[in-house]
Chains A and B, each alone.
Chain A
């Protein structure tokens, strides 16, 4: 008999009034008893619709069955078969649009807490120092991976499991991509990312940091160094600005800069860490995605008095993960919906003093299917702010495409690939993740890395 509760068991959390001023993880996840209880809400459907919602096809009912039996190690093994980074996915996937959106229990009541259970299994395995997995026999072929974000790590891990000698090249000084510079500590602890990357290195994957492919070395030179194939997982790290007056004033950050200072460089502990960050009393964050939520909640933790999200559509259209929107509200972030900035104002020293905005109304649906925001005439007003963070999206970095002749790209910069294989226009060069799609999710990037690993193996082994 299964647990008939219609409610998903809540995870333990830090209280909002405490956590809004610290960088420790907000959600503490499930303990063993809670995992056992939530697992029994799964009815173990034969056709498992939840799996179709997972971009890397985790065998969900199978791992949950092991959780029910208290076999947490076995549950972890099942997850790891298809997912190289479960401790991360369990925390940052938008499950409401993926696995949990397809859960049969969600038709009446809450879906099963698949993400929380995955996270529990991964954390359990990490806490109980598992014996190392046996290394696969090497097949003598070398593959280079550009970028150590979720997509590159997944591709590298999958290829290593098949016996390839894999080297990842990373431009920054720490591997992890957006997992280390973008997603904050309070949502994804960096010690955990490091641990998770170690599980990939334990498969024999080498990671070389401080190598900017396109500058330090070109794709052509990598082939000359003896690599048989290359996977490009360089992400979408080029920040977009709105191109409104005042964007170069002091106090205006791209979300990438703000979050890199805070997360990667640990500016929240300045002057213990050498990198400073300036956060004023009143902060406006422009945008409605996860990046905007992360920036707003980070600003709150750095001591801002008032933090607002400024978004040109309504809350319903916000692409951010539901749980993060909920957490941001609990922590006191103000949501100014249907509001669009037109100008940032500054003083004679070049510092931000305010932001002119207009109100918007929702018109007809646009190409993306979302209702297009239209300016409400005569609705301008000025918000008093001293810091502005622009979080309206990122484009792929042009460095690789500019230094690689023959690599086909979309007009907006994304690499063009075969959807089935991830193959680019160049022989034995594959790509995936945000470098192809533009800014999307961790799990989609991982799915692309997995697809390309399979295609690379088939190509190089002549299958």
Chain B
């Protein structure tokens, strides 16, 4: 069992947890992920490692409530335990020589939580890091202080303009590129349409662009191919060959179709869980 040591809601739908998992903490690196299972009937879900403390033997995860398992996870409290927690999985990010060079780290949605350790790692390697993040409105913003510490420039976009900078992360990127900012590389992490939009923008400028793919996974160790993607015309398993790939080579169309494979079942499972919770709450009253 893997104990939840801390729990903190970052906004209405995003939660941070610190989990006791010494083996994972000992080996974890930026870009890697874990797979967890809450209980005996649970499914295995992948989550990126958002931080770790090797001495304390702890791993931080940040997740968004989107379906049955993440809603259930959000109902757990510090002191509860997860049945299974395995990792680190996937390859550690490779940045090359970025010392003194300018890079952009772009995060959308929960991708911000995943972009954060990337920004820290690049900052520590001596890169000049521009961080561009987007939220629906400024009230939902998370991790701004942490990102500020790693970024030379932190650009926060909001869909509704509630912080005075209305638009998508791609609008901010376009502004920077139009202004003549030269990027050595761009790292884009978030929903697939956003990653694709960033790639389309950096492709003509030939800026090396890394994306962190988030396909459906089961085992996460390369034994099933559920997470397969087409990259540069070849089939790759995101869990062992990735999750990071050259964004200009990824077949996003296919990846997006594959990620919708179980949308009906996911809805059914979520509804059933929410109904059961409601019943339980009424029963208590």
Interface of A with B (CB < 8 Å)? 171-173, 209-212, 215-217, 237-239, 241, 243, 247-248, 250-251, 253-254, 256-257, 260-261, 265-266, 270-276, 278, 349-350, 397-399
Interface of B with A (CB < 8 Å)? 23-24, 27, 37, 41-44, 68-69, 83-89, 218-219, 221-226, 228-230, 235, 240, 254, 257-258, 260-262, 265-266, 268-269, 272
CB of B259, distance to nearest CB on chain A (Å): 10
Select from chain B the residue with minimum beta-carbon distance to A402.
B240
Complex Cα spacing A274 to B72, Å: 11
With most chain A CB atoms within 10 A of its CB, the pick from B219, B223, B225 is B223
Structural contact, B23 and A216, CB atoms closer than 8 A? yes
Partner of B225, one of A212, A250, A254, A265: A254
CB of B229, distance to nearest CB on chain A (Å): 8
Structural contact, A274 and B41, CB atoms closer than 8 A? yes
Structural contact, B222 and A399, CB atoms closer than 8 A? yes
A172: chain B residues at CB < 8 Å are: 219, 221
Complex Cα spacing A257 to B258, Å: 14
Partner of A265, one of B43, B86, B254, B260: B43
Select from chain A the residue with minimum beta-carbon distance to B234.
A243
Complex Cα spacing A247 to B226, Å: 11
B83: chain A residues at CB < 8 Å are: 173
17 A-B contacts (beta carbon < 8 Å):
A171-B221, A212-B89, A217-B23, A237-B223, A239-B223, A243-B235, A248-B229, A248-B230, A248-B254, A250-B257, A260-B223, A266-B41, A271-B272, A273-B43, A278-B262, A349-B257, A350-B258
Structural contact, A248 and B258, CB atoms closer than 8 A? yes
Structural contact, A250 and B221, CB atoms closer than 8 A? no
Complex Cα spacing A265 to B23, Å: 24
CB of A176, distance to nearest CB on chain B (Å): 14
Partner of A261, one of B41, B42, B218, B260: B218
CB of A463, distance to nearest CB on chain B (Å): 34
Structural contact, B262 and A276, CB atoms closer than 8 A? yes
Structural contact, B222 and A274, CB atoms closer than 8 A? no
A398: chain B residues at CB < 8 Å are: 222, 240
Structural contact, B266 and A276, CB atoms closer than 8 A? yes
Complex Cα spacing A397 to B87, Å: 16
Select from chain A the residue with minimum beta-carbon distance to B38.
A274
Structural contact, A257 and B269, CB atoms closer than 8 A? no
A254: chain B residues at CB < 8 Å are: 224-226
Complex Cα spacing A175 to B41, Å: 16
B226: chain A residues at CB < 8 Å are: 253-254, 257
With most chain B CB atoms within 10 A of its CB, the pick from A248, A256, A278, A349 is A248
Structural contact, A215 and B230, CB atoms closer than 8 A? no
Known: A239-B224, A257-B218, A274-B269. 10 other contacts (CB 8 A): A172-B221, A210-B84, A210-B86, A215-B221, A248-B254, A251-B261, A260-B223, A272-B41, A275-B43, A276-B266
Select from chain A the residue with minimum beta-carbon distance to B257.
A350
On whether A212 and B269 interact (CB within 8 A), knowing A241-B235, A278-B261, A278-B262, the answer reads no
B84: chain A residues at CB < 8 Å are: 173, 209-210
Partner of B254, one of A239, A271, A275, A350: A350
B265: chain A residues at CB < 8 Å are: 270-271, 276, 278
B43: chain A residues at CB < 8 Å are: 265, 273-275
B229: chain A residues at CB < 8 Å are: 248
CB of B2, distance to nearest CB on chain A (Å): 8
Complex Cα spacing A241 to B224, Å: 11
Complex Cα spacing A210 to B218, Å: 13
Structural contact, B268 and A260, CB atoms closer than 8 A? no
Structural contact, A250 and B258, CB atoms closer than 8 A? yes
Select from chain B the residue with minimum beta-carbon distance to A216.
B23
Structural contact, A247 and B23, CB atoms closer than 8 A? no
On whether A216 and B87 interact (CB within 8 A), knowing A250-B257, A256-B224, A350-B257, the answer reads yes
Partner of A212, one of B87, B230, B257: B87
Select from chain B the residue with minimum beta-carbon distance to A171.
B221
Complex Cα spacing A158 to B24, Å: 30
A266: chain B residues at CB < 8 Å are: 41
Structural contact, B221 and A212, CB atoms closer than 8 A? yes
Complex Cα spacing A265 to B37, Å: 11
Structural contact, B272 and A250, CB atoms closer than 8 A? no
Complex Cα spacing A239 to B85, Å: 24
Structural contact, B222 and A238, CB atoms closer than 8 A? yes
B230: chain A residues at CB < 8 Å are: 248
B42: chain A residues at CB < 8 Å are: 274
Partner of A211, one of B23, B225, B258, B272: B23
On whether A216 and B268 interact (CB within 8 A), knowing A210-B84, A238-B222, A350-B257, the answer reads no
Select from chain A the residue with minimum beta-carbon distance to B270.
A271
A270: chain B residues at CB < 8 Å are: 265, 269
Complex Cα spacing A358 to B41, Å: 42
Select from chain B the residue with minimum beta-carbon distance to A172.
B219
CB of A245, distance to nearest CB on chain B (Å): 11
CB of A17, distance to nearest CB on chain B (Å): 29
Structural contact, B224 and A216, CB atoms closer than 8 A? no
Complex Cα spacing A211 to B87, Å: 7
Complex Cα spacing A212 to B87, Å: 7
Complex Cα spacing A65 to B84, Å: 46
Q: Which 10 A-B pairs have the closest CB atoms?
A: A350-B257, A276-B265, A257-B224, A237-B223, A274-B43, A210-B86, A173-B84, A275-B43, A254-B225, A250-B261
